[in-house]
Amino acid sequence: MTIPYKPRVKRKFIGGYQPRIDGQEKAQGKPLYADDIITERNYPGLLYAKVLRCPYPRARIISMDTSKAEALKGVKAIVTYKDPNLKQMKPTNAGWTDAVDTVSYDGMMWGKFRDRNILGDYGTWAGDEVGVAIAAESELIAEQAIKLVEVEWEVLPHVMDPIAAMKPGAPVLHPHIAPQNILPFDPVGGPDCFFLKGDTDKGFGFADVVLEMDTIHDNPTQGSLDPWCCMVQWEGEQLTVVSNSYATDQTRMHMSQMLDLPLHNIRVVSQYVGGQFGRADTGDQPFFIFTALLAKKAGRPVKFKHTRRDSFHDTRQPALYHCKVGAMKDGTITSLYFSSIGEIGAHADHSVFALKFAPAEIAEVALAHIPNLKMESFAVYTNRIPGCMMRGVGNSQFNFIFGRIIDGLAEQLGMDPIELSIKNFGHEWGITPDPSLKAVLEMGAERIGWKAKRHTPGGGDLYEGTKRRGVGFSLHPAWHAEWQEVRRGQVQARITLLPDGTVTLDAPTVETGTGSNTCNVLGCAEALSFLGIEQKDITWVSTVDTNNGMRDCVQTDSAVSFLQSEVLVLAAKELKKKLIDLGASKLEVESDQLDIVNGQFVAPGKTISVKELLMKGDLVPISAMVSRKPDDSKTGVPYIASFAEVEVDTTTGRAQVLKLVIINDCGTVMYASGAEAQQIGGQVMAIGEAMTEELIYDPIRGVPLNFNLIDYKMPTILDMPGVEPVLLEIWKGAGEYGACGIGEGTLTCTPRAVANAVYNAIGARVDEIPLTPERILQALGRI
């Protein structure tokens, strides 16, 4: 059943159901992605780089002989760990920031966790970039050359499990940072116990019911179809980088600080990206640096591109969560305690963000009314693929335990979990019960058919002799509202009115598919309504180039769509003021006597179209560039929820999702078709995480077994259930639109909604996702 959302304020452009602005060009295959641009046709003399990847989970290079590789025809440059400039290069981290802000080397968020050396001699996972990189005339030659490098390895003991890694005597990966593999205190993430309010033990003491539960969230990966690549070219001291990284300013800063180059000597260009999904934070990746060194040495442009195997590069942090909850008989939660062991893999990068920063944000909003609350986390190194950013960072892992404890507690209390949630969660700046939370859950219940379908665990009807059905849900606070984006600093946009009345719109952000480009054109048309402008009159500038002089607003926190549109409201006002000043002087009237309505200058007794006046003038475009810092008014956040209906075959253990209902309170829907595309689309990653996607290792040899798209099971069209998207406008944030990001949150609740539905179906809980048939049969006691 399709029910379009009802806008709170009816606007001409914002909020509409309509095609994307890039729909036609993308349907024709016209946009050029980095891999399409970085070709020998465009860069004559282009070389191709390959890097040595550590074949062992933990090993050190004792010696290396590159003479055979040097002798191979077509090899043009080799850099190794023995080169003085690499030996002297400062240690780094591949996630300097979450890309919300631009940071320097000294200002990186996780400055205590600089555990990476560019092409160092020490590998800590089977896939680590170590020792040598080679540029050659073809990818094939570069690959052959890497194979010709003779390496003597010291193979070191490894550890593949975080619990084992925490034990005394375990192999220690980075002793200078974490002597027991557990990351120490850092100024951003805080100590192991990073959130404490009241006294949790006391809270458990007077509770009527106390319940403890555990969950394990495995590690899916982003799975962007567009393999990461870059091209670096030197022209004298001028460095140009073309890439499908989504943070051009940060890439420039990263290269400037690592290569000790002034910022103006570096130009970074990005445009279309074939899916980002949080891939490795800001992209402060060692490959940018060794590609630059190879290009310098060869005196030719060099391309580095991940193979599909290389694209398995970082993941969501697997997390083991423990939760203890205490509540009174009436459902009032008196105390909550969360403890997690987060597996960060071989490098710390940005993992503490997921394990501490994100849960602390949730505590600030959703858990504001819980009087006694304690959260602790232990971030642990293992010799597996590094954890990093991924759509829904930290929130997905947290939601997996959060949704479960609500379901479990409600069962113990004999309450409906919807009622329990509305009773306890909200945010301290709003009223209780939280109107957004209430609306989201009640709408979800209605659309999934909660009252009719929800039954006691395992107590429903039997279908086809062996199948049972159930429903479940999970909720989460949305992120991010404007006040949570203050760290971003100034958001910039420029509207340029051309003499014929058409417009170019510079709202720099790398187009990753989120739909913010369409939001911006809608926002621009809305803000320029005084010009009587239509969408077709506006050209959105799709290339982000640091030489443009404007800061890019990075596609993170799902917030770009409204942050830039809020700036456009101000830019349009400034443009109108400039036009009125110009019109007043031309028409010889006072500025306060002149207005612009529907594209016409209107003064007492005079009227002329803006276009006509401009075309009679000097034909100089009129620009308004505005910077705006996000409004820090504490408005709280809206809520999101997923409701699922599943069918489980109790003989095979196969669970199938029959239907999903995804509810997002958006504040304001900026672009309805795009928002629904995010709601429906996010379920592909969510169903993958819930049902099939996991990275599998050989536990003995410590090497990955399924780093390819055949054995790593991303959902196809046949794997997807029907998804019903529901957009609401209940909460409102700061600014003209007062919207909130939704893209990441669309997938956060789904795995837990599915897992709760499976419990409702079969009456046995599965602790770990993905919910494989094996785990379901184990839960049922059948194997």
Point out which residues bind another protein (CB under 8 A).
2-5, 17-20, 22-24, 26-33, 35-36, 39-41, 223-227, 272-277, 307-308, 511-515, 672-674, 676-685, 708-710, 714, 716-718, 720, 722-725
Using alpha carbons, list the distances in angstroms from residue 623 to 70, 96, 494, 496, 534: 54, 34, 7, 4, 18
Q: Which is nearer to another protein, 379 or 675 (CB)?
A: 675
Nearest-approach distance from CB 511 to another protein, in angstroms? 8
Choose between 620 and 705: whose C-beta lies nearer to another protein.
Answer: 705
Q: Mapping DSSP to helix (H, G, I), strand (E, B) and coil, where does residue 576 land?
A: helix
Identify which of residues 360 and 658 has a Cβ nearer to another protein in the complex. 658
Closest distance of CB 396 from another protein, Å: 15
Distance CA(599)–CA(608), nearest Å, equals 9
Task: Give the nearer residue to another protein in terms of CB position, either 40 or 446.
Answer: 40
User: Which is nearer to another protein, 163 or 225 (by Cβ)?
Assistant: 225
Tokens 């309450």 correspond to 415
Q: Return all residues near 289 (Cβ < 8 A) that are at least 6 apart.
A: 89, 118, 255, 258, 259
Cβ 687 to another protein shortest distance, Å: 9
Minimum distance, C-beta of residue 675 to another protein, in the bound complex (Å): 8
Q: Under a CB-based contact definition with an 8 Å cutoff, are residues 696 and 40 in contact?
A: no
Phi and psi, residue 636, nearest 5°: 70, -165
Least CB distance from residue 228 to another protein, whole Å? 12
DSSP codes, 45-85: T-EEEEEEE-SSSSEEEEEEE-HHHHHSTTEEEEEETTSHH
CA 167 and chain centroid, separation: 32
Nearest-approach distance from CB 342 to another protein, in angstroms: 25
Smaller CB distance to another protein: residue 315 or 683? 683
**Smallest separation, CB 681 to another protein (Å):** 3
Report the DSSP pairing between strands 655-665 and 639-649: antiparallel
- The residue (of 17 and 185) whose beta carbon lies closer to another protein is 17
167, β-bridge pairs:
none
What are residue 47's DSSP bridge partners?
302
Structure tokens at 290: 């060794």
**What is the spatial distance between Cα 276 and Cα 540, in angstroms, rounded to a whole number?**
20
The least distance separating another protein from the CB of residue 242, rounded to whole angstroms, comes to: 14
Q: Which is nearer to another protein, 139 or 192 (CB)?
A: 139
Q: How far is the CB of 245 from another protein (least distance, A)?
A: 14
Nearer to another protein by C-beta: 3 or 620? 3
Helix ranges restricted to H, 188-307: 200-205, 248-259, 286-298
DSSP-H helix ranges across 195-342: 200-205, 248-259, 286-298, 308-311
- Under 8 Å between Cβ of 117 and 37: no
Q: What's the chain's Rg over C-alpha atoms?
A: 27
Nearest to 305 by CA among 242, 227, 240: 227
Nearest approach, Cβ of residue 343 and another protein (Å): 24
- Measured from the CB atom, the residue of 343 and 676 that comes closer to another protein is 676
CB nearer to another protein: give 625 or 680.
Answer: 680
By the 10 Å C-beta count (0-12 exposed, 13-18 middle, 19+ buried), 97 is classed as buried
Shortest Å, Cβ 605 to another protein: 45
